[in-house]
Amino acid sequence: MISKLHIVLFEPEIPQNTGNIGRLCVGSDSPLHLIRPFRFMLDDKTLKRAGLDYWQDLDLHIHESVEEIFSSFPHDRIFLATTKTKTCFWDKEYQAGDVFIFGPESRGLSESLLQQYPQQCINIPMSDNIRSINLANSVGIIMYEALRQINVNSLQ
């Protein structure tokens, strides 16, 4: 049993990452939300190649600002993925309908946004040898931990 999550990409830059994330969203029956601007066109062939033939099955929503996300969902169920927090993603409890916002590949989410919602910030632990984990991998790691928690809890 898979429970829906909402994956949000704030100003995504790399079409292959967005395509891979779209494929993850189709596989988990989770909507993908993209916040403009993007650095590619939605008909980009690299985006479609990464999403394979699943792209047409994607529940895709386009937004003009991150404020649209915060006005559409309860703030306490929105999680901000960042390297700039000490709170590990596996230390939170997730539920169906949760929203996960990921920043652009080159710079992440803005400090001002992170400072507005410090209790909602989560990170993926990693060594000091790298700056960050690939965006598509980060989405997959966090998404499937949330789904694991939700589905285990729904069986109890």
Averages of pLDDT over runs of 10 residues in the chain (156 residues) are: 85 92 93 91 67 79 96 94 96 96 96 96 95 95 95 61
* Per-residue model confidence (pLDDT) at position 156: 44
Which pTM value belongs to this model? 0.92
Distance of alpha carbon 103 from its chain centroid, rounded? 8
Give the integer Cα–Cα distance in Å for 86 and 121.
9
CA distances from 75 to 22, 56, 66, 78, 147 (A): 24, 30, 12, 5, 20
Strands (E), the chain: 6-10, 32-35, 60-63, 78-81, 99-102, 121-122
Give the integer Cα–Cα distance in Å for 149 and 156.
11
Give the integer Cα–Cα distance in Å for 37 and 123.
24
**Length of the chain as a residue count:** 156
* Per-residue model confidence (pLDDT) at position 155: 47
* Per-residue model confidence (pLDDT) at position 41: 74
* Per-residue model confidence (pLDDT) at position 4: 86
* Per-residue model confidence (pLDDT) at position 1: 47
**What are the sequence ranges of the domains in the chain?**
6-154
CB atoms under 10 Å from CB of 142, counted, come to 24
* Per-residue model confidence (pLDDT) at position 51: 53
* Per-residue model confidence (pLDDT) at position 48: 63
* Per-residue model confidence (pLDDT) at position 65: 96
Pick the CATH number of 6-154 from 3.40.1280.10, 3.40.640.10, 3.40.50.720, 3.40.50.2000: 3.40.1280.10
Phi and psi, residue 63, nearest 5°? -125, 155
